[in-house]
Structure 1
Amino acid sequence: MAQLSGGLSFGPIVKDELAAVAELEVTAFPPPVYPVFFFRQAFDLWPDLFWVARRDDEILAYLVCGPEFAEPSRLSLMSFAVAPQAQGQGVGKGLLREFLRRLPIVAPQISHIWLTADPDNLPALRLYQQHGFVISGEESDYYGAGYRRLVLTAEIAAKNI
């Protein structure tokens, strides 16, 4: 768990935080959103790939990843959100940076990470690009008709931490 000044810390989620993450998902995104049972299953399946940013007992951001079954060296960043009251304060940037920094230790088999993003969400696209993600594709109907998404991919370099 990385602890910063002001009580802000980054690290794997604990079970008692699952409901808060599900609430943040609903607050952060328009439908479709992941339901609480998805987060419970992610916690059970990939506990080292499900991280939160917290200040004291408040969840300010989260990210959840899952490995690809067909290509175990690739990781999907399935959801990443920052609470409205924490946006623009570097919370999401810090969470993503710390997760990517620790990823070679947590999951040394991972060589690439990918995600999708709303092409109109310029702050998110800037954040991802600052962390080495590049646009590698686009799908006009990712979640169904009219849900346009960009696909972004980053290479994960093995690091000595």
Structure 2
Amino acid sequence: MMAEERGFSIRQYTDDDFGAVRTLNGDEQHESYEGAVFVRQAGVLYGGTFLCAVCDDVICGYAIGAPVTGGNVAWVIRLGVLPSHRGRGIGRALMQALEERFAALEIRELYLSVHPENLPARSLYDTLGYMVTEIRSAYFGEGEDRLIMKKNLDTALSSSLSPCR
């Protein structure tokens, strides 16, 4: 079932989405300058792989992917869905759209990190075909362990995939 049939659409991020994505990223509650800078710069640096899910004209989710310079590797650096919209397939649709974008760019390996106790995210990534390649203690500092997960993308299929609108 396509995203539009489930009541949401996936599209590329625009500068008009900044406030909504910043809020969804959780930054406004802490007035985080660093979070605002991250969102603003991600829009410039990763424009083609910064995607938003839209539900009833509201940003209900986003995903940001970052290609690694000089290679055929990329990272998913953010995935977020409004708590009130979880369980509707939005995260899955964002990940699949991001994978399609990267396959079209001939990216062959897609990596991400996830907290070992984030079972909903781990379940999503498992069902999408990501495999744990490494366990990193204190990846983001003390108490911030992460699983590094990887998926091999089939770039041969990218020509048959439709682009995000």
Same fold (TM over 0.5): yes
1:124 — aligned with what?
Answer: 121
1:3 Cα deviation (Å)? 5.9
Of the structure 1 ranges 2-11 and 115-124, higher mean CA displacement relative to structure 2 is found in 2-11
The alignment partner of 2:102 has SS state of helix
**What is the CA–CA distance in structure 2 between the aligned matches of 1:62 and 1:36, rounded to whole Å?**
15
Aligned pair in 2 of structure 1 residues 34, 133: CA closer, same or farther (>3 Å)?
Answer: farther
| 1:1-161 equivalent positions in 2, closer than 5 A | 4-5=4-5, 7-26=7-26, 35-69=35-69, 71-105=70-104, 107-108=105-106, 110-158=107-155, 159=157, 160-161=159-160
Higher RCO (CA-CA < 8 Å; seq separation 6+): 2
**What is the CA–CA distance in structure 2 between the aligned matches of 1:3 and 1:154, rounded to whole Å?**
22
Runs of 4+ aligned structure 1 residues displaced above 3 Å come to none
TM-score normalised according to structure 2 size = 0.85
TM-score normalised according to structure 1 size = 0.87
Number of aligned residues = 154
1:57 Cα deviation (Å)? 2.0
The alignment partner of 2:26 has SS state of helix
Question: Percent same amino acid at aligned positions?
Answer: 27
Structure 1 residue identity aligned to 2:37:
F
**Residues 65, 98 of structure 2: 8 Å contact kept:** no
1:60 Cα deviation (Å)? 0.9
**Residues 53, 94 of structure 2: 8 Å contact kept:** yes
**What is the CA–CA distance in structure 1 between the aligned matches of 2:141 and 2:34, rounded to whole Å?**
15
1:143 Cα deviation (Å)? 0.8
**Residues 138, 149 of structure 1: 8 Å contact kept:** yes
1:102 Cα deviation (Å)? 3.7
Q: Which structure 2 residue ranges, 5 or more long, are not aligned?
A: 161-165
Structure 1 residue identity aligned to 2:12:
P
The CA RMSD over aligned residues, in Å, is: 2.2
Q: Which structure 1 residue ranges, 5 or more long, are not aligned?
A: none
